[in-house]
Amino acid sequence: MVLRHTANHTLDKQIATTLFTTEHPFCDTVPCSYIGSTLVTQPTSSLLVVVLALQYLLAGAVVLYNAVKDGGWADKNCYRGCLPAPSDAPDGKARVWWAYAFLVWGVSVVFAGVSFQAFTFQLRCTGDPHGDAVCLHEKYDWVAQTYYILQSIGIDLFVVARSYRAMRKHTEMAKRYVILHSGLYVLCVCVAPPLRGYIVSMVFITPSFVVLRMINFVCLGDKILHAAWTIMSCSFLWYLAWIAFAPYGRWWEETGWWFSENDALHLPLVLFVPLAYVSVRKVKDKPAGDGVTLAETGKRLAAPEWSPLHFLIAATEETEEGALLTSKV
């Protein structure tokens, strides 16, 4: 939900707030219902978030259960199953990391639903939802910030999951990337309020998203996952378009019909989870020590000696001939 902001000089000149009055109360700007005595805002949007969160959590639980059966936690070093190491023989490491990512994103969606849909007023506002009230900006809502942090960590975990299939030798590098990239975002959120918010979080996760698309395109050629990531890209573009062009606030006031920018973001993602699950449920790890795997598209791109991809892979691979490792998926 995007609130209209004014500066409330009676509270704190540095904190953006929204003021509501008896003539224009909070519950006139968004749908409000009650479950018993508990106020629930945007009930239909909250229901959509519940569905999406359950999808992520269920997919993560099922993938994790099956990966563990295949030896995904059979580690022999200090990682002890929580961070599977690349040198272990048992299969299932890629799926363990997929499961971690699904579960983290499921929890992040729960935080998003609590902050942006169901309990926005309780978390950000003081006063009467049907009268005078003051609401803080989402940048000062730590439930919202937790959502952004978990979202960033989750997509980084997808990168590690893909590394077990696409570039097994470099999974440790992928894990270090997760620590550095996620740590940087957490630091920015904690110390720099101007860097909080959905758009900034999207800027931070874009490198990981690009890496995932490139790995899938160059290394794996997974058409189902191509479709899943494309749906995610389209959901973000629809979110931006809905903010820019859809007067959903006026529609609500005039017709009672509610479909916010967050609904525009979440609805396509209901398709992302089952597609991603179908793609990863039987993913197998590459043998320990294997370098970069190339799909047919990747082989064509890397074939010319002048190709940037040729130099990139050659710089990271150590083979006797110094040539590219182009094993089949």
250-309 per-position pLDDT tens digit: 888 888 899 998 999 999 999 999 998 988 887 777 655 555 555 445 444 444 444 444
Q: Is the pLDDT of residue 219 over 70?
A: no
pLDDT tens-digit series, residues 93-117: 888 888 999 999 999 999 999 999 9
Domain 42-116+141-282 has CATH 1.20.1070: yes
How far from 211 is each of 38, 95, 106, 139, 315, CA to CA, in Å? 43, 18, 22, 28, 17
- Alpha carbons 136 and 3: distance in angstroms, whole number: 9
Q: Tokens 């973000």 label which residue?
A: 236
Average pLDDT over residues 213-224: 76
- Alpha carbons 26 and 121: distance in angstroms, whole number: 8
51, 274 Cβ separation under 8 angstroms: no
Average pLDDT over residues 220-229: 82
Q: What is the pLDDT of residue 224?
A: 85
What's the pTM value of the predicted model, to 2 decimals? 0.79
Percent of the chain with pLDDT over 90: 28
How far from 201 is each of 88, 111, 144, CA to CA, in Å? 34, 15, 11
Query: Among 13-22, 77-86, 316-325, which range has the highest average pLDDT?
Result: 13-22
Per the DSSP assignment, residues forming a β-bridge with 91 are none
Map out the domains of the chain as residue ranges. Answer: 42-116+141-282, 294-329
Q: Which amino acid belongs to residue 272?
A: F
Cα atoms in the 13 Å half-sphere on the side-chain side of 47: 6
